[in-house]
Structure 1
Amino acid sequence: MHIQDQLQIELKVKIVKESRPVISDLAFFLDMINSLWSILSVLIIAEFVLGSFANGFIAVVNCTDWVKRQKLSCADGILTALAVSRIALLSVTVFYWHAYVFILDFYTLKEVTIVYIAWVISNHFSLWLATSLSILYLFKIANFSCLLFLHLKRKVKRAVVMILWGNLVFLVCHLVVLSTDIKMGKIDCEGNITCKTNLEDIVHLTNLTVFTLANFIPFTMSLTAFLLLIFSLWKHLKRMQLSGKGSQDPSSKVHIRAMQTVISFLMLFVIYFTAELITVWSSFTPLKNLVFIPSQFLSVLYPSGHSLILIWGNKKLRLAFLSFLWQLRCWLKERK
């Protein structure tokens, strides 16, 4: 054996020995990621079950009350529609997670298009109905001397209905842009690399811009409602202190409960919006597989967690839920 060949063999052995710790660390890191993904997947399923139960409970209670009284308030109507839209949103999100993780090969362009359109529609109504609920709380609870506010307060139902109908323009625009993007994606530019790159950049930028605007506008409106509620509460507490009545009057408690509901929506919406934004950005990078499961976990957290908070913050829903738990407890005792 030549000296040169012997040196090459020794060098290869040395490289293998030195690379073993790196390979071991990499395998440990991959095992940790797989374990984390498994835990998050279980949590996604748990969130889906809890969220579906909470939203289904809201819809059933309000529909039952509607049948009994032959009347449904504006707030209960929005809550019911919100619950239905969130059940659809949860179903689409979990279906996408399941298809991506387990049956990715089954996912053709047609299925991707249908699922994404369903997600756009359910996400749109979920966000705007929650925003309308925040605005309804504002007009029902806050007190301002502004003439415009007083006029809208008297016509609050009409104002909310106009908001719900008006935001359909955003949905139509979003679907038109989505349809255009899909058609652009089908254009065959394999022979022209520059054309293909430009189209991919346009599709990416358009989707990101439309998604950001479609989510940022309802968030801004909800944030405005929350800030106005804080200002109204501050003015109310100031009047109570001057009159010597203290801050534990019913109006203050109503203000605080409404603020808790709105701020919970805002906090969960920020998490949801951030997760979806990361998903959109990362879908065009090599990190898309790494961030997909965590982003889906955060996405499911919003429609599930906020609905549970709505149940606890609504007196009728809270009493119905406690009654359900009591009946369930009695039924379990009888079964034993």
Structure 2
Amino acid sequence: MESGQQNFFILIMVVQFIIGNLSNGFIVLLNFIDWVNKRKLSSVDQILVMLAISRIGLIWEILVSWFQLMDSLLSVVDVKLIITIFIWILSHHFTVWLATVLSIFYLLKIASFSRPIFLFLKWRVKKVTLMILLGSLVFLFLNLIQIKAHIEDWNNWYEGITTWNSTVSDSATLSQLIIFNITMFSLTPFILALISFLLLIFSLWKHLQKMQLNSKGHRDPRTKAHTNALKTMISFLLFYTSYFLSLFMSWISQIYKIELVHILALNIGLLYPSSHSLILILGNSKLRQASLLVLRQLKCGTKDEKLTIP
């Protein structure tokens, strides 16, 4: 029974792996073609490309961790595993922070507040997003230093150099510390994205009140822009919450050595970098139109093949 459940979860994981690579790869490819033709990309397209690349890296790292992490932590941490952990942290960091930057970008571009501080940020939206990304490197640097310390402690304990009071005392603790570290350093971007979401809701509420006073309908361009941005941000928060849940489940699986829970955690974790990219495609007019065009061409191609079959 348990073997059947594992095979089912592995099948779902493979499907998500394919969808994630196709959706994120589509975002990168389309914008690359657009850049080749026009020699420039809009700010939102640049963020989407970097986000898609980081998510492809995260998807592959989640798959690699399934094959490698459980077995490798039973012995001294080797160079290959250290590289895997560091690449995982890098891809996770940029995936989370770029999605948060996208939320802040939508807020500054769409919301309408008369506060001087908001107007100051709105007029400098490109500089604001760039400064946030540069500032996030501080969190990345601190995270990598702490992970490096955990790895050194683990190797020292395993080789019998340190005492029982070491910060790492069993084979599961290193993975638990890594997951805990990643979770703690992810709280800041999540809170920033949540604040952006709440401010955008408040902006939409104020805008709808203004439309009612002016006896105008609710289908004006600004209302539509608010609702489209809110859909993207809601999906991000939901999928990112599921990603947090997957980290917690992975931590539990490391403690109790339950492989089924570990595979389930990987499935839930893959929802964020794969499924959310599909929502980004549907929420972006350029990406949506291009994806519909590709689907039509594929549909026409299959019809032509059927007609040629004798």
Both structures adopt the same fold (TM-score exceeding 0.5): yes
Local SS of the residue matching 1:248: coil
Q: Distance in 2 between matches of 1:64 and 1:279?
A: 39
| Sequence identity percentage | 40
Q: Distance in 2 between matches of 1:119 and 1:140?
A: 31
Paired residue for 1:259? Answer: 230
Question: Residue type of the partner of 1:322?
Answer: L
Change over 3 Å in CA distance of 1:107–1:126 after alignment to 2: farther
**Pairing of 1:323-334 with structure 2 (within 5 A):** 323-334=293-304
Question: Residue type of the partner of 2:299?
Answer: R
Question: Residue type of the partner of 2:300?
Answer: C
Residue 288 of structure 1 and its aligned partner are, at CA, apart by: 3.9
The 10-residue stretch of structure 1 (197-206 or 100-109) with the greater mean CA deviation from structure 2: 100-109
Q: Does the 8 Å contact 2:183/2:247 carry over to 1?
A: no
Question: Residue type of the partner of 2:32?
Answer: C
Change over 3 Å in CA distance of 1:289–1:76 after alignment to 2: same
**Pairing of 1:141-156 with structure 2 (within 5 A):** 141-156=110-125
Q: 1:321 aligns with which of 285, 291, 303?
A: 291
Q: Does the 8 Å contact 1:138/1:225 carry over to 2?
A: yes
Paired residue for 2:248? Answer: 277
Please, what is the CA RMSD of the aligned residues?
A: 2.4
Deviations 1:61-103 (A, max 9, x none): 1111111111111100000000111111101111222446899
Q: Distance in 2 between matches of 1:205 and 1:89?
A: 19
Change over 3 Å in CA distance of 1:208–1:42 after alignment to 2: closer
Change over 3 Å in CA distance of 1:319–1:205 after alignment to 2: closer
Under a length normalisation based on structure 2, what TM-score does the superposition of the two structures give?
0.91
Paired residue for 1:302? Answer: 272
**Pairing of 1:96-245 with structure 2 (within 5 A):** 96-99=65-68, 109-188=78-157, 195-196=163-164, 198-200=166-168, 207=178, 209-245=180-216
Structure number, greater radius of gyration: 1
Q: Distance in 2 between matches of 1:156 and 1:190?
A: 51
Question: Residue type of the partner of 2:203?
Answer: S
Q: Does the 8 Å contact 1:99/1:106 carry over to 2?
A: no
Q: Distance in 1 between matches of 2:281 and 2:290?
A: 9
Q: Distance in 1 between matches of 2:194 and 2:157?
A: 44
Q: 1:250 aligns with which of 202, 213, 221?
A: 221
Question: Residue type of the partner of 1:196?
Answer: W
Residues matched between the structures, number: 303
Q: Does the 8 Å contact 1:131/1:222 carry over to 2?
A: yes
